Structures are given as C-alpha cells and as structure tokens.
Amino acid sequence: MAASPDPSRLWVFGAGSLIWDPRFEPAETRTALLEEHRRAFCFWTVRARGSFERPGLGLALEPGGTCAGVVFDVPQEGREEILDALWRREMSGGVYNPTWISAQTDDGPVWALGFVGNRSHRNYAGILPLDQSARIIANALGTMGTCHEYVALLAQALDDYGLDDPETQELHRLVQKYLAELS
C-alpha cells in the first residue's frame, strides 16, 4: 500500500474469478479497461483447477493489449482483513506480481492493484495458441473442479457485466467443442 499512487483508496482489478467472486463487499464496483495489459491463461495450475495428472491453465494479466474487467473499491472498514484474505488467495502460489495499474472507468481513471503473471515462476507457460489452451483446459481437473468450468464462469461474468472479450469467448467456444468431442 505504501507504493500506491493513490493511498486514499484501494481499488482491486478483477480479470478472472475476482469478477464473479471478490469475496468481500466492495464500497463501489465499476467496469474498467486496462490499456497496457491483456487477460491470458499463461501459467500451469496443478492445484485448484488442475493436477499433475491433468494440469490446467491459470489466468493472469500479461503486458500488451487491452483487458476489460471490473474494479472493486475496498472499503476502509475491514480493509486490513480484506487485503490479508486477498493476498492469501492471489499470492500464495507466487505466480503473480502484484502491480499498480491504471484502469479506465466511465467515471475516470483509477489506480488499481492488479495481478500480473510472474514470468520467472516455474509454472509460467507463456502465451500458448488458443487451440492448444482450449485442449488443455478441456481436460484439466483439480481440487476446486474443472478448468473448463472456470472458463465458463468467466465467459458468463463478462457477459453479465457487458464486457467485450472476443478471445475469451472464442476460447470458451473451443473448450466446449473439445468437451463435446470427449463425451
């Protein structure tokens, strides 16, 4: 927080599961656009939505491109507890670099805490072709369920907020295609 460009407020950028499950009651929620980062399934997950036998792909922000998502204003009351829970949730595996990013909203720009992929992490997979990612996701299963369920929840959350992300929608379509082939 000491490095925050705007210490008066704490905004958190949701690119994935934070969109549909922030696990706290935000003081305010806004749709937002990042202009220097994109959403990417760029690291191997072998716990939550994948395993060593059936690895999945986890989501992170990657430099370049744009990303439509949601920013949540973390309320002052209970902020320390919320931040602690958020940190345990997002940072336990070390696959992210927490980064202050400028997010454009309809009410103007805000500085938000975003979770950018840690390219030096052993589970970093890089940007894989969409077809390859879809095949991996369609087959992955972990302690929290299937990886394809995560993609479906993301696609639905983006639709619910009216956020346009053709790549995620195409990934979801390809995953559904491969799931149909598997059954």
Residue tagged active-site, from 25, 81, 90, 149: 90
| CA-atom Rg of the chain in angstroms | 16
Tell me how many domains the chain contains: 1
pLDDT in tens, 114-172: 999 999 999 999 999 999 999 999 999 999 999 999 999 999 999 999 999 999 999 99
pLDDT in tens, 52-82: 999 999 999 999 999 999 999 999 999 999 9
Q: Is 96 contained in some domain?
A: yes
* Triad 68, 17, 136: Cα angle to 5°: 95
pLDDT score for 148:
98
pLDDT score for 5:
84
- Sign of the dihedral through C-alpha 2, 105, 69, 43: negative
CATH no. for residue 21? 3.10.490.10
Distances (CA, A) of 151 to 17, 25, 39, 49: 9, 23, 12, 10
Q: How far is residue 47's CA from residue 145's CA, in Å, rounded to a whole number?
A: 10
Could you confirm whether 181 is annotated as catalytic?
no
Q: Is 2 contained in some domain?
A: no
Q: What is the DSSP letter of 124?
A: B
pLDDT in tens, 30-40: 999 999 999 99
Range of the domain at 95: 10-182
Q: Is 74 contained in some domain?
A: yes
Q: Is 48 contained in some domain?
A: yes
The size of the chain, in residues, is: 183
Q: How far is residue 55's CA from residue 122's CA, in Å, rounded to a whole number?
A: 14
